[in-house]
Structure 1
């Protein structure tokens, strides 16, 4: 079985994965992988009937769940060989969005060749790098990918909360209490600044001379301009507020 941080990493991943569900509207709950096809077996702790049609999903044991996560995620990312914290961020991203995508973004942060396979070059670069910088960069790239998805507006808040929690937990494995407190303050300051920027974008809380002049535009154009200016700032403010909360919690627990 695994060595290193597999057990604590798995425990953190499973915090974000639900218990047993069998929603017939979800294609992942059917053995055929399509809604209404095959047998409705459900999903448990992120393990779906679509991916494992021959398993009794509802009655999966803790050992079965651990074996699946170990073989499908931990081994491919070379979790036993990655530095502490980096192993968690890489595993959780892989569970959420695929091992290849997670590995590619890790390689981009490390500045090595991008092929989606964690090999000797990637491992050497990871071991030489500052794990705090790698974790933050990796989680930042993960957030950028998630925000690019068409279903971000539906699931974005939950996704960003998960990434914030994983980042904080991963950093707590390689950081002092003081470092985590500083990280929390930096994230909180960013959230405040971005929230203020959103207010400026709407013209609220500022003088008339500071607000953008859109008097000559039709209403639909004004709404579109404000949305383009404000929406990204609001999203960033929410993300950084979530990060600040998760990092502050991690600091208290350190």
Structure 2
């Protein structure tokens, strides 16, 4: 159970989102959820214009978005993102990976990735990792961090059950990176998405380690 992680996860998202912005290139800033369609409303605390419209049950204005308070944003986070991905039931660390990705890409995408990570075996998770992520895992397994999945790494994974949650987090991190790269966003958007993913993964591993200590 990871309900105790909720405040940490929300604090991470709040720091990453940094309040109001009104970027015409971002579909979430438009009332329709599609770029250049409808009214340019903006986003605040990661809450998109369509999401706030649904929450307030009326047409909203840029002023509504600009004056969105943190308490309301938090309520939306919990009701429509954390609860929808069943955050209370997820292992520590994986909850953050799903929750923050749900804010960025929607709960359906987050749920699909969580389900994927539960369905595939450890070997599939490991062979999917980038060299960089494999090196992170290998250091945790105390094997040579060469970035390649071989017999020694495979044996270490099989023998160190305490590292299986970390492997799952790194696997989800990998498929989230693939998702972001597949969106075809501008260089600035992609750089921001990947930087946030890196910070999310680091904190998720810390949460996982704290839960297993």
**CA spacing shift, 1:160–1:25, aligned 2, 3 Å:** closer
Matches within 5 A, 1:53-64: 53=53, 54=58, 56-64=64-72
Structure 1 residues 27 and 151: alpha-carbon distance in aligned structure 2, compared to 1, 3 A threshold? closer
Q: 1:156 aligns with which of 156, 168, 190?
A: 190
User: What root-mean-square deviation, in Å, do the aligned CA atoms of Structure 1 and Structure 2 show?
Assistant: 2.6
Unaligned runs of 5+ in 1: 113-127, 177-254
Please name the residue that 1:137 is paired with.
171
In the alignment, what sits opposite 1:44? Answer: 44
TM-score (norm 1): 0.55
Give the number of the structure whose residues are more often helix, by fraction: 2
> In the alignment, what sits opposite 2:95?
87
State the Cα deviation string for residues 195-233 of structure 1 (Å, max 9, x = none).
Answer: xxxxxxxxxxxxxxxxxxxxxxxxxxxxxxxxxxxxxxx
Q: How many residues align?
A: 159
TM-score, scaled to structure 2: 0.65
Tell me, in whole angstroms, the C-alpha distance in 1 between the residues paired with 2:23 and 2:190: 21
- Residue pairs, 1:211-230, within 5 angstroms: none
CA distance in 1, matches of 2:5, 2:12: 11
Stretch moving more, 160-169 or 52-61: 52-61
Residues 1:25 and 1:81: Cα distance change in structure 2 (over 3 Å)? closer
Which structure's CA Rg is the greater one?
1
1:102 equivalent among 92, 110, 132:
110
Matched, 1:174 2:208: yes
* Relative contact order, higher structure (CA 8 A, sep 6+): 2
Task: Give ranges in structure 2 of 5+ residues lacking alignment.
Answer: 121-161
TM-aligned CA deviation for residue 52 of structure 1: 1.9
Deviations 1:87-136 (A, max 9, x none): 00111111111211122122222216xxxxxxxxxxxxxxx993211111
Q: Is residue 2:63 matched to residue 1:29?
A: no
